[in-house]
Amino acid sequence: MMNSKQPTTKSFDAIYADYSNPNGRVMITAHRGNWRQAPENSVLAIQCSIDAGVDVVEVDVQRTKDGRLVLMHDDTVDRMTDGSGRISELTFDAIRALQLKEGQGGEDTAATAALIPTLHEVMLLAKDKVMVNLDKCWHIREDVYQVLVNTGTVKQGLFKSTAGVEEVQEFLSGKSERPEFMQLINGSNAHLLDQTDEIITRVQPKAFELNFAKDDSPVISDVTLRRLKGKCRIWVNTMFDADCGGHTDAVSLTNPKLGWDWHLGRGVNMIQTDSPKELYAHLNPGSK
C-alpha cells in the first residue's frame, strides 16, 4: 500500500530522496506558490508554502524586455498588479515598480506592498528547503537553468514539458549538472503514451505529469498507469476540472472519495493543489 502520511519534519535531502523514489509517499505541490495565503507567485506566498511543509512549490517564469526572469503566470501584468502591459515589452525596472494584488488578483482586487520577484530571489529563498516546479518557461529553459546554476539550486529546479525525446535530451545532455525533468502528457501529445518506455529509458524523468479532461482519457488509463508505476512518480493537478477529470480540490473538500482519493486509488503520488493545508490534513488524519 502506498504511504500517504507526511513526515513531521522534512529536510531538502529527505524531500529529494522521496522524489527519487517512484514508490515513495504522496508529495504535495503548492500551485502558484500557495496564492490563498498571499499574492500568487510572490515571495510571501512561497514562504507560506515552505512554512506549511509542502514538498514542491510551483511557480511561473517570464522574461522581461531586458532579459530578466521574473515570476508571473500571465503574459501581461494586468491581472496581478496595479499596472498593465506585456512582460516581454516591459523593462525589469518598470515591472519592479508595480505592486502585486491580493490572491489571484483581478480588476477590483486591492494592491499589496508585495513586488514581483525575480527567479533568482525565489531560488535563493527555496534553497535547501523545497523543490521548485518551473512552469511556463520551457522556451527559455537555458536562461532558467543558468539561474539555477548561479544560485546553486540545480537539484531543486524541476523543469517540465510536452516535448518529445530528442528535444528534451538535447536540453538535458552536456551540462555540468543535469537538470531535473518531468514529462508532461496531455491531450495535445497523447501519442507519447506509446513511447513511455523509451522516455523512461532515454530521458529518465523521475515523474510524469498527467493532464486529462475525462476519466476515460488514455492519459489516465489503466494501461498508462501500469507502464509508469514503479518506474516514475505520477503527478496530477487538482485545481481545474479540465486537468483532472473533475476530481478537483473543490470536490475533495466536500467528498474526498471523488477527489483526492480518486487519484490516490489509482497510484498517483504527487498532487499539485490550491489547498495544500487541507490536502496535508487529509493525508494526515488528526494532524493540527
CA distance 17 to 30: 19
263 labelled catalytic: no
Residue 157 is classified by DSSP as: E
On whether the CB atoms of residues 195 and 202 are closer than 8 A, the answer is no
Give the distance, in angstroms, between the CA of residue 49 and the centroid of all CA atoms in the same chain: 12
Residue 130 CB burial class (10 angstroms; 0-12, 13-18, ≥19): buried
Q: Which amino acid is at 108?
A: D
Q: For residue 183, which of 140, 232, 216, 225 has the smallest C-alpha distance?
A: 232
- For 19, the enclosing helix (H) or strand (E) is helix 12-19
Among residues 73, 247, 263, 282, which one is catalytic? 73
CA distance 158 to 207: 10
120 labelled catalytic: no
Look at the block and give the residue holding cell 531543486: 156
Residue positions annotated with a catalytic role: 31, 73
